[in-house]
Structure 1
Amino acid sequence: MNINPASRIIAELRPKYEIKIDLDERCFLFPAGKSVSQLLLLSDGHTILIDAVYPFNQARTPPRLAALDLDDAREFGRRLVEAVHTARTQLVGTNGIRISINVIANGYHLQFGDMNAATELFLGTGCIWRVCQGLLRIVDLIAPIESN
């Protein structure tokens, strides 16, 4: 009998929910100065983690952009859709997060955290609807709302 505890440990650390969002070539992360090719939305059922996938990462920049609880993620998704539809700046401010969504000439500028030490994500117009759908999809996976 062969027992391999490593595979069981790895399976327990794997997130319960995972959504991958492909971005376009006009997506960048600052202050790291990295191109972002994909966003990963990971969740254990309570917290939603937003991670970036970089095509190059010689500086070993950590992938984590934000960690949101369910209510914050739901509000962020709503404000993001509202910002895209109305083409106006939105602010998501709760007890847990502070995110500003700015509409710019060639896309959207998302600013996570305090203005003095913010993480900035620039998204092109070609991928913004995929980001909106991915965020709302993971919220729905975690806590589906009953239909009539």
Structure 2
Amino acid sequence: MDTPQLLLDTLVYLLGLNFALRAGNDHKNLRWTNPQLSLVSSKTGEESLRYTEDISKTNQGGLKSRKIKRKVVFAFPNTTEPRRCLIRCYKLDVQHCPQRKPDAFYLRPLTKPKGDVWFTSTPVGINTLRDTVGRLCAKAGLP
């Protein structure tokens, strides 16, 4: 990734594409404590990124839905287009973020990265995430 903003945009795009995160709220609800995203390895050593669905409108965690299994989806390495590999982007994000004090997954990109630190410790706001999702959808030709 060339810039922190490009890494942020790519993560929003690839996470939305692979795990059906549609709106800014879906992205805003990603967190580090009790995470929905985790890097896992198979018995053969192949890495994948696991997404576990959070409680939602249709699965609110009440008595009626306690037996409903949350959706678990895996993303695997993209070896044909490494720049579009979600696992690679996820690792870059982890590598270039400062210690995550807030519980937000997405942090604001620095306009001028400082060495290995590309992001502030301030979370990206919901309006910025909505605008990013909208902008990426428009670029892709989606309504």
- TM-score normalized with structure 1 length: 0.33
Q: Which has the higher contact order (CA 8 A, sep 6+)?
A: 2
- TM-score normalized with structure 2 length: 0.33
> Counting strand residues as a fraction of each chain, which structure ranks higher?
1
> Counting helix residues as a fraction of each chain, which structure ranks higher?
2
